Structure formats: C-alpha cells, structure tokens
Chain A
Amino acid sequence: MKNPFDNLDKVLEHRIRLQIMSVLVTNDGFEFSALKEMLNVTDGNLASHIKALEREKYISISKSFVDRKPNTKYKITERGRNAFKKHLDALEAVVKQQK
C-alpha cells in the first residue's frame, strides 16, 4: 500500500500556511489586514508565509488603491485549490491509517 505521508504537500505542512489557504478557499479574496486579524499573527510572519505560497503559485495577489491607500487582496488559484484539496485528503488518510 502506498504511504499516505507521501501525498502530503511540503509547502502546506506549516500550519499558518494551511490556515491562510483555509481562509482563501472559503472566501473569494481577502485583504492582508483582515487575514492578519483572522489568524492572529504578526505582519512579518504573515508576509513570509504569503510569499512562500505565492512562490508556489497557490495564491495570486491583486493590488489596488482604496481611498488613495494601497490595498492588497489575496486570492486562491486553481493550482492552490487543487493542492489544498490533495493535502486535506492526505491528512485524512494519515489520521485514518493511524486509528
């Protein structure tokens, strides 16, 4: 039998990244500050994990101006949605196997 651990996504093994993906998979577009509030993390911490997810092309970024202030919105990509689903399936398989 194939080891379910192999199906886990290395990038998503980090919990904050997983949480960012969880927010973006249920919500169509989320701002940086709202994401920070939701996950209760610092600016630097969130930014570094967002960068990691962006590098994998799991999320996309759209920048615009609202009331002349820069406004950054994050969206999940199709690639990211698939990766999240696969990782979730693998997590379930791992937990199931141990029981």
Chain B
Amino acid sequence: MKEIQEYEKDIASIRTIMERSAKFISLSGLSGVLAGIYALTGATIAYFTIHYPISPINYRTYSLQTPEALSKLVLIATLVLIASITTGLWLSSKKAKKHGLKLWTATSKRLLFNMAIPLVAGGIFILIMLYTGHFGLAAPACLIFYGLALIQGSINTFDEIRYLGFCEIILGLISASLPGFGLIFWTIGFGVLHIIYGAIMYNKYDK
C-alpha cells in the first residue's frame, strides 16, 4: 500500500496532465499587446488613406470608391495580420521553451484547427463582400468572425479568451448597425481590446 502523500500526488498529477493535454498554455500575453499595437499603427495609416482630413470619429460621407484605396487597405490589414501571427508564434515558442514544453503539440494543432474554421470561412466571406462592393460591412464581419474564432479556440486555451471573443462579437454587431464608422470599431476591436487583454494575460500568467 502506498503512502497517503503518494495518493495526493496521484490526484495532483491527474489535474496537471488533464490541464496540460487539453489546454494550450504557452500562449503569450505580450504578443497580444504587440498585436494590438500593430493594429493601431495599421489603423492610423488606414485613417490617412481613406479618412483624412475628416476627423476619425466623424461619419465618412463618401464611400470607398477608388480601387487604389481599397487595395491599400487590404495590404495594411494583411501586413498587420502577418506581423501579429509571426510575433504570436515567436513569443509563444519562447514561453513554451521556458516551461520545458513544445509549441507544436496535439493540443496546439487542435487549437489552430478549431480557430481556422471560422477564420477561413469569415475571410472568404469578407473577400466576397469586397469583391461585390459591399465595403460597409467588411470591418464588422472581421470582428464578428474573429470573435467566433476566439470563443471556439477558448476550449483549448485560457478561458479568458472566451470573454475577449464575446467583446469582439458585440463590437462587431454595434459596428454593423453604424455603417461608416467601421475603421474606429476595427481599431477598438483589434487594437485597444488586444492591448487590454494581452496586458491582463501577461500579468496573470507570464509574470
């Protein structure tokens, strides 16, 4: 018969293994903050492309008609996305190494796969909208599909991601009912919320 401490250790080991196998815990909070900063930078450049010299909180009365402005916006959004993913992968692999874990595990693969479903569906949907000239709802659609991806992904990583997902969806729906203010909502959703959440996650898990 084993010592009583051994049974306590058995219970503790069940808990850590369950947690470690079901949840990807190497997600870096700092990468969230940086993704937010990239989004803010991108939004500022976008503002000078389409809004300037109108104040950013004013309703944009003329719509996006020139193809150059549109392709410039798509380019900015793509660059922000690539920079955020690269930073996220880099900082998360550093965090995984620090904890003696691997970045590419069955859990992280499942996390990526689960998030990719709403993201790819949303991405194609937005491209179709842009192609068919429905520019007004592109920014809200980004926020809503991203929010759905976060809620889906939260099953395999920190629970807090779920609340970020809810915030993005609510913001997306408000934005959809206020066409013309897409850029400002996009900036809050991808810039400000990422910085706030990244900072909370950093304080809670990375310190």
Interface residues of A (CB under 8 A from B): 5, 13, 15, 18-19, 22-23, 25-27, 30-31, 34, 37-39, 88, 91-92, 94-95, 98
Q: Check A34/B106 contact, CB under 8 A, given A25-B18, A94-B7, A95-B7.
A: yes
Residues of chain A lying within 8 A (CB to CB) of residue B106: 27, 30-31, 34, 38
Closest Cβ of chain A to B153, distance in Å, is: 16
Interface residues of B (CB under 8 A from A): 1-2, 4, 7-11, 13-14, 17-18, 20-22, 102, 105-106
> A5 contacts B17, CB within 8 Å?
no
Q: How far is the CA of A91 from the CA of B8 in the complex (A)?
A: 8
Residues of chain B lying within 8 A (CB to CB) of residue A23: 17-18, 21
Q: How far is the CA of A38 from the CA of B18 in the complex (A)?
A: 10
Residue of A nearest to B15 (CB): A22
Residues of chain B lying within 8 A (CB to CB) of residue A39: 17
Considering residues B17, B20, B102, which has the most beta carbons from chain A within 10 angstroms of its beta carbon?
Answer: B17
> A22 contacts B1, CB within 8 Å?
no
Closest Cβ of chain A to B105, distance in Å, is: 7
> A18 contacts B105, CB within 8 Å?
no
